[in-house]
Amino acid sequence: MKQIILIGAIFISINSSINGQSIFNYDSTGTQLQKLASRIQEDTLLSYRLNADSIFTRALVQTLKSPYSFKYNFDSLTAIKHIISPDGRFKFFSWQVDLGDGTYRQRGAMQLPTKEGQLKLLPFFDNSDFIQNITLGVYDRKKWIGAIYYDIIPMEYNGETIYTLLGFDENNTSVSKKIIEVLRFENEEPILGGNFFKFTPDPTYPIGTIDRFVYSFKKGSNAIIKYEKLQNRIILSELASTENDLKKQETLVPSGNFKYLAWINNKWELSIKEDNSYKKK
C-alpha cells in the first residue's frame, strides 16, 4: 500500500508541476518519471508493476504535452528506452512489463515533431500473443510485434526514407529474441514489416520470404545484432547449439563467429562468407 501511495504522490507532483507552469523543469520531471519507470522493473508484485506502468504512461503523456517536448532528450529517464531517428523524423519510447509468468508485455509510443510544438503521439499495441509466426506479416501500430528498440537506421528506398529498427524482447524464461524490423510511413502512419530480407541457403537462417528478422537464442547468452555505420551493415552473432540441434532455440548460443547483413538493392542481404573482423575490436 505504501508503494501505491508513493507512486500516486509522484504522479500528483508531476501533474502539479506541468499544470502550474507553461515551462517546467525537465530535469526534475525526468527524475520523477525515472522513479515511476524504475518501479515497473523493480516491484516484486505484478499488481504494483501494472499500477506503476499505468501511472507512468499517463505521467509521460502529460509531460510530453509541454510545448516542443520533442526537443527534450530525457537524459535522466534511463529505466525505459527512448531513441530518436538520426534524421529527427520521430522519437520512440519503449519498455516492458514482467507479467510474472515468464512472459513480458511491451509498451511503445512514437512521438512526431510538429511545427507549432503541440503533441503528436502514436501509441503501439503489443499483439505478439495473437500471432503464430511473428516473422510473417505486415502490420500497423495496432498489431505491433513488440520490442525494446535500441537503434534506428535510415535507408533510402525508391526515393523515400524508410527505417530499420533493432529491438530486443525478453520473451520468456529460457529464450530471448532480437528483432530487425523495417518501418515505413503511409499517410503519416507507421507500417511495420515487408519483403526486405534476402538469405543464401543456410540451415541457421530463414530460407523462405520473411517480413522481419527474428533471432531467438538462449537467455543470457547475449547474441549480438549491431549496426556498423561506417560499413553500413548489421553485425550478427553466428549461433550454435549446445546440444547440436539448431531447432532448439533454448540451446542456441553465439559461436564466436560473425556474419552480417548489407543493404543491397533495397534488401538486407546476408553475406555468403563469414566476417570475423568484429572480434578484433
Q: What string of DSSP letters covers 14-52?
A: HHHHHHT-SS--HHHHHHHHHHHHHHHHH-SSHHHHHHH
pLDDT on residue 28: 57
Would the pLDDT of 139 be above 90? yes
Contacts of 176 (CB under 8 A, 6+ apart): 168, 169, 170, 216, 217, 218, 219, 220, 221, 223
Instruction: Considering only residues 164 and 201, tell me which one the structure prediction assigns the higher pLDDT.
Output: 164
Q: Is 52 exposed, middle or buried (0-12, 13-18, 19+ CB in 10 A)?
A: buried
Sign of CA dihedral 16, 18, 20, 24: positive
Question: What mean pLDDT value characterizes the chain?
Answer: 86
pLDDT on residue 201: 60
* C-alpha to C-alpha distance for 242 and 253, rounded to whole angstroms: 7
Write down the domain spans for the chain: 1-125, 133-281
* Structural contact between residues 82 and 74, judged by C-beta atoms closer than 8 angstroms: yes
Would the pLDDT of 80 be above 50? yes
* C-alpha to C-alpha distance for 7 and 34, rounded to whole angstroms: 11
pLDDT on residue 120: 97
* Structural contact between residues 222 and 177, judged by C-beta atoms closer than 8 angstroms: no
Instruction: Considering only residues 164 and 208, tell me which one the structure prediction assigns the higher pLDDT.
Output: 164
Report the amino acid identity of residue 230.
Answer: L
- 92-118: average pLDDT: 95
- 102-123: average pLDDT: 96
Q: What string of DSSP letters covers 81-135?
A: EEEE-TTSS-EEEEEEEE-SSS-EEEEEEEE---TT----EEEEEB-GGG-S-TT
